[in-house]
Amino acid sequence: MFLRTLRAALPYVVLGHLALLSSATVTDPAALDACPGYKAKNVFTFGPKLTADLVLAGKACNVFGNDLEKLKLEVTYENKERIHVKITNPADARYEVPEAVFPRPHADILASPHSAAIRFNYTASPFSFSIYRVSTHEVLFSTASHPIIFEPQYLRVKTNLPAEANIYGLGEHTDSFRLPTHNYTRTMWSRDAYGVPQGSNLYGNHPIYYEHRTTGTHGVFLLNSNGMDIKINDTEGLGTTLEYNVIGGVLDFYFLAGSESDPTEVARQYADVAGTPAEVPYWSFGFHQCRFGYQNFVDVAGVIANYSAAGIPLETMWTDIDYMYKRRVFTLDPDYFPLDRMREIVDYLHKHNQHFILMTDPAVAYVNDGTYGPFDRGIKDDIFLKAANGSSPFLGAVWPGVTVFPDWFNKKTQDYWNNEFKLFYNPETGLDIDGVWIDMNEPASFCNYPCTDPFAQAEEQILPPPRTTLPPAHDSPIFGGSALQKRVDHSHDDVQNPPYAIANSAGTGALSDKTAYTDAVHANGLIEYDTHNLYGTMMSTATRDAMVSRRPGERPLIITRSTFAGAGSRVGKWLGDNLSEWAQLRQSLSGILGMAGVYHIPMVGADICGFGANTTETLCARWAMVGAFYPFMRNHNGDTSISQEFYRWPTVAQAARNALDIRYRLLDYIYTAFHTAHTSGTPVLHPLWYQFPKDANTFAIDTQFLFGDSILVSPVVEENVTSVRAYYPDAPFYDFHTLAKTHVEGGGFIEHTDVNFTSIPVSIRGGVVLPLREKGALTTAELRKTDFELVVAPAVDGTASGSLYLDDGISITPKTQTNVAFAYKKQKLTVKGTFGHATGVDVARVRFLDVASAPKSVKFNGKTVAKNAIAFDAASRVLDVALKTPFNSGFTAEFS
């Protein structure tokens, strides 16, 4: 959370170097391409592995330091679809992402180049390499004519790609989902990015891209957590180039073959490397409400009551840092948020099958007077990040004033964090939270680099900020009643002002601006220069472990801001401090497609209606409907903005009811998609081209997307517009509400001309059997007591299929599970599976779509269905068959 008012210019304070970075370093590509590169010598191949020495091929370029004279190349075919290419310095230890943070994938010992879908090829002098697809002999990645540069603080690899390449990924950004290819730079360096500005480095770093061609889709992942610029540029007549400019570490590439026909295959292969997404509680798919600026416990309780009165589902109430005493983590303000009244709120929520979440920040207030336990215990255990001298705590200035930061590499930090959660979030003596919200974990700070006196700066910037309202009366009525790493020698490196300056947008551009200094030292000797981009993910992992320690065996919901590759295997994410602007509503769609569709962080959403500035009734109404199709759905805004709870405007309230009804009816469908993602790596959200990879019209579309693989969402994302031009590929689609069929021969656009401010175009892709709840509900607990209905939406060939997964919705390892498969062919639906987890409800009816005429007979399990249980709508071509059969075994339903 960035400072929301004119107090924003809060400097971050700490002792350290005073060097300033410029903006991105400008280099001449032609000059870099003239560097000598390396020669491959002593090439040795044995089974799936190739090794070689790379020796400098001529006079050193020394563009940003001295070229290393000798490197080590190691190429490993890890399985049929994955090649691992690693280039290191054999003479000295260099930083690599620790395995404790990013576990390396297992390799198949029987892998062989002869059976691989992609292969590594090289030229010895000057050394260059390429990755090509065996089946098509198509080059996917090639460094030809672009020499590798390997210096102490600068690594450069450049590849040739097709003209106007379709590239997706490369970390958190607000640009289009298909990345621009002309003079475009993606920078990897986590920062607090209030307003999530376009063309800027943001909170998360994921150096993975998918490239899609009509001949197939493949992926390239660089496992490196150092700061970097990745530059993409089209050159007329020469195609596209993609260039990595990295300020440290090693070159550690994973090349993923993907597939010629199914783009989601590359996502599954990346999941093998980065980990499949974590499963989350069933309740977490409900609607969440939060605000920075709820002044006291009366405010919080009032919001809960008002949602109930408005008949708008509210699953989880959140509270921002307002609840803290002097903004100190693991505290409650005794006047504004007294423990007994807050426990009353939590008890009320739990009694009504609702949930409660609090903000937990990483920065711990420096209160060295024996009155603040979290600081005292951390000092005693010596678990805080150290300054450059390696002995004194590294000091920053954040919300509570002068702060220290937990060092997640310290072996004792996990126990410290678990204990703080145990003490503060104790169901018996504290607040029994149901999930955790992590903010400021880049780690962020309010420092304008350089700073020399943290205490003076905190006082000057009025940290912590004072309360601006009087506390309510205490009896005010509510509710109407790590492992050690090899030490890396940075003694000859300038880690504050590296010779190559990445395009960091924070403050002055200095790497240490508004964050922990790059020379801050971890317990294992690593420094922030190398590990900065890992801080948020490591805090997320520690927090997940702390929550599992609190509630053993239960899936926690952890929502974080800063992420690195692999974070989704443990936590979810929101897209940070956006603004109440139409452009940011639109940008959120590419953001969630990137996180859920590429990086495997499917529990993702944006602050609905916008965080900063003031929303409007129409913007909030449209955003409420779009947000119903974010996997993580939360309304959240800032303390200087107007209140924007859904119930505050009639139009927004109705839009929210309508959209939430759709969402809740689809909840088991998306829950099943999450389980599939967890078990196989298949994405939860799909851009259109994932399902229609040969249709070039879909490659750039990012204002429509598939919720799951079969629900097409086509929202209005422009102001004062009541129409939307939606693209429909060459396949049957069915309107979600009327179930009438739409099919544009060959694919094409359809203009929806009457999209009022409480509706959103939603369609069902042909070829699916959808398990829907018959109606929505106010809580997910209530929803699970609602009957199912099955919607059969045939493809062109008249077939359809689907699945349903159910369990208790909370256990990490459920004792019972239900897995159901649906298959429709020749006018017969077959339902079969294992029913280990009792659904406790019925299948109320089956709805067959695109039925040409009234059937002569309908049968259930081979027996004729009574006529009064059958209804046929000739206009919409929908056949409804009422069953009201217990959903505890398989069955068949057919018509002639």
Cα–Cα distance for residue pair 577/561, rounded to 1 Å: 9
Cα–Cα distance for residue pair 117/730, rounded to 1 Å: 30
Cα–Cα distance for residue pair 715/722, rounded to 1 Å: 10
Strand partners, 221: 208, 254
Cα–Cα distance for residue pair 208/601, rounded to 1 Å: 13
Residue 511 CA, chain-centre distance (Å), reads 24
In Å, how far are 172, 195, 587, 861 from 199, measured between CA atoms?
Answer: 10, 12, 12, 58
User: Residue 308: how many CB atoms within 10 A of its CB?
Assistant: 16
Residue 430 CA, chain-centre distance (Å), reads 30
CA angle 70, 154, 103 (to 5 degrees): 85
Asked if the bond preceding 450 is cis, omega within 30° of 0, the reply is yes
Cα–Cα distance for residue pair 640/636, rounded to 1 Å: 12
Strands 858-860 and 863-864, by their bridges, are antiparallel
| Residue that is written with structure tokens 């404790």 in the block | 100
CB contact at 8 A, 635 and 646: yes
Cβ within 8 Å of residue 882, ≥6 positions away: 844, 845, 869, 870, 871
Strands 316-319 and 287-289, by their bridges, are parallel
Strand partners, 50: 45, 75
User: Residue 266: how many CB atoms within 10 A of its CB?
Assistant: 26
CB contact at 8 A, 161 and 209: no
Strand boundaries in 502-568, DSSP class E: 557-560
Helix (H) or strand (E) holding 246: strand 239-246
User: Residue 20: how many CB atoms within 10 A of its CB?
Assistant: 16
User: Residue 524: how many CB atoms within 10 A of its CB?
Assistant: 18
Q: Which of 733, 737, 728 is nearest to 704 (CA)?
A: 728
Cα–Cα distance for residue pair 268/272, rounded to 1 Å: 7
In Å, how far are 70, 244, 453 from 55, measured between CA atoms?
Answer: 5, 21, 47
Cα–Cα distance for residue pair 771/843, rounded to 1 Å: 9
In Å, how far are 465, 631, 701 from 360, measured between CA atoms?
Answer: 18, 22, 37
| Residue that is written with structure tokens 């073959």 in the block | 257
CB contact at 8 A, 765 and 771: no
* DSSP-assigned letter for residue 696: G
| Residue that is written with structure tokens 């509630």 in the block | 551
Q: Which of 146, 286, 264 is nearest to 682 (CA)?
A: 264
Cα–Cα distance for residue pair 24/326, rounded to 1 Å: 38
Q: Which of 22, 61, 2, 104 is nearest to 511 (CA)?
A: 22
Cα–Cα distance for residue pair 894/141, rounded to 1 Å: 51
By annotation, the residues acting in catalysis are: 439, 442, 577
Residue 77 CA, chain-centre distance (Å), reads 29
Cα–Cα distance for residue pair 184/229, rounded to 1 Å: 10
Cα–Cα distance for residue pair 787/885, rounded to 1 Å: 10
| Residue that is written with structure tokens 């003479």 in the block | 91
CB contact at 8 A, 230 and 185: yes
